[in-house]
Structure 1
């Protein structure tokens, strides 16, 4: 086997196909041998056997062959997985990287275009507003809003102590609630 041929698509495909076919054939043979061994041992009594001893013994021996059959089947599927992984991780990797780089460059260019358009729009808006005719005569100051008195909605502003001002004289609860009639 040429090890350099193993690192090509055709070489690895041929290797994995050969290995897969060998394991599939082995798995079939192990299954056939397991069936033959089980049936022969079930029919062959050994002195001192009880009523289920033959079947139990046949099952224990055939179970090992069935495990070999299962392992060969898994090895055949692992051979296919080897080829698929090689194709995915080695052969197709440069193409995937090139595609990812192209997408990244496209996203970068679209972001730069969007930022450029936003800056151009902002500058256009600024220039338009600066060049627009003014409603007031040049050299005059703009009219200020008249002063408004706003009544406090917050009851805490009524008490200087709560607002952080000077302290009011000590009050009691009776100052805040009307005294009831005592009688």
Structure 2
């Protein structure tokens, strides 16, 4: 086996496919052997056995082979995990780092441009307007409909009384956060 070929994507894929198939084939054989062992031991009573002694003994013996089967399946899963982790941690890492660096640069640029142009205050005001509109149940802000909000049909009349305080809508965000006593 060429070790340099192993550290390429096709090489690792081939290796892990071979190992996975080998371990799954072993697991299949172990399952068949466990079934044969269980049946054979159950059908071979030993002198002095009680009512379910042969079945219990067969289960105990076959359980060891079933453990081998589980181990083979775990090894097959480990082979598949090896390829996945290799691809994620080795092959795709440079691209992920580059994308993360680009996102960092974009955030820095947004922060730099926001400080100079006073855009932070405008964004805060827009956010507060959206919050007030949401609290009031409105679907548009300043007469501009929000395309992301779904259009609901009018509700049918309710036969239950309204909760206290639900009669009117607040006109602004300051109604939700009063400034009494703050200076």
Normalising by structure 2, we get a TM-score of: 0.63
- 1:118 is displaced (CA, Å) by 2.6
How do 1:95-114 and structure 2 match up within 5 A? 95-114=95-114
Q: Deviations over 1:114-165 (max 9, x none)?
A: 112139xxxxxxxxxxxxxxxxxxxxxxxxxxxxxxxxxxxxxxxxxxxxxx
- 1:49 is displaced (CA, Å) by 1.5
- In the other structure, the counterpart of 1:27 is 27
- In the other structure, the counterpart of 1:80 is 80
CA distance in structure 1 between the partners assigned to 2:81 and 2:24 by the alignment = 15
CA distance in structure 2 between the partners assigned to 1:40 and 1:65 by the alignment = 14
Q: Number of matched residues? A: 120
**1:53 and 2:41 matched:** no
SS of equivalent to 1:4: helix
- 1:110 is displaced (CA, Å) by 1.0
List gaps (5 residues or longer) in structure 2.
120-183
Could you say what the CA RMSD is over the residues aligned between the two structures, in angstroms? 1.5
List gaps (5 residues or longer) in structure 1.
120-183
Structure 1 moving runs of 4+ over 6 Å: none
Normalising by structure 1, we get a TM-score of: 0.63
Q: Deviations over 1:11-32 (max 9, x none)?
A: 1000000000000000000000
